[in-house]
Amino acid sequence: MKTAYKPIWEHAKPYLATRSNDTHTLYCYYFAEQLLKAHPEADENIVLPAIILHDVGWSAVPEDKQLQSFGPHMIYPELRRLHETEGARIAGEILNKLQFEAAKIAEITQIIEGHDTREESLSINDSLLKDADKLWRYTSFGLETVSDWFGYSHQEQMALLEKWIGYRFYTDAGQNMARGLYAYLQISNGASA
């Protein structure tokens, strides 16, 4: 992680101590760095703080209800939304404490406030965050985590990941990274000859 963003990470970590969000966030951060290389027009000072802080709001959702607040067994959509709104609030507090520029705080919190439920993208910065947030599922850690959460078999997850490549990404770079990661998962898990 770049030195400039380590203070944000240190402030975020206590809020990420649920549902493996700390590890998830690190995967997303490194994917965001790669996506930024493909999109020099994006603002690293928006994308990287936003990806570090995007899931701090899960700390406001009771742990026993988190896995029913998203995914195939969702019965608490209002809690999924709460993680976004609380995440934006917490992110704003952290960034204010670190004396971030007000305009950047406004954009970062706006992105976080709808990163899961808002289907349209607000900007290239938002698109890169959304793509980075999805790419972690295309890792061995993602496969294991989702299997633990929802009981999906390896085959079920691979079928979903393959289908999602076509419509869940906002940038060509994100889609191409998903294709590459998917191919690697196939090879590393013996699914391909």
Per-residue pLDDT 10s for the chain (193 aa) are 999 999 999 999 999 998 889 999 999 999 999 999 999 999 999 999 999 999 999 898 888 888 777 877 788 888 889 899 999 999 999 999 999 999 999 999 999 999 989 999 999 999 999 999 999 999 999 988 888 888 888 888 899 999 999 899 999 999 999 999 999 998 887 654 3
Global confidence as pTM: 0.91
First vs last Cα of the chain: how many Å apart? Answer: 36
pLDDT of residue 23: 93
pLDDT of residue 10: 97
* H runs (alpha helix) in the chain: 6-12, 21-38, 44-53, 63-66, 77-97, 102-112, 124-135, 140-150, 154-165, 172-188
Q: Which residues contact 42 (CB under 8 A, 6 or more apart)?
A: 35, 36, 124, 125, 128
Residue ranges per domain, the chain?
3-188
**CATH fold of the domain at 3-188:** Hypothetical protein af1432 (1.10.3210)
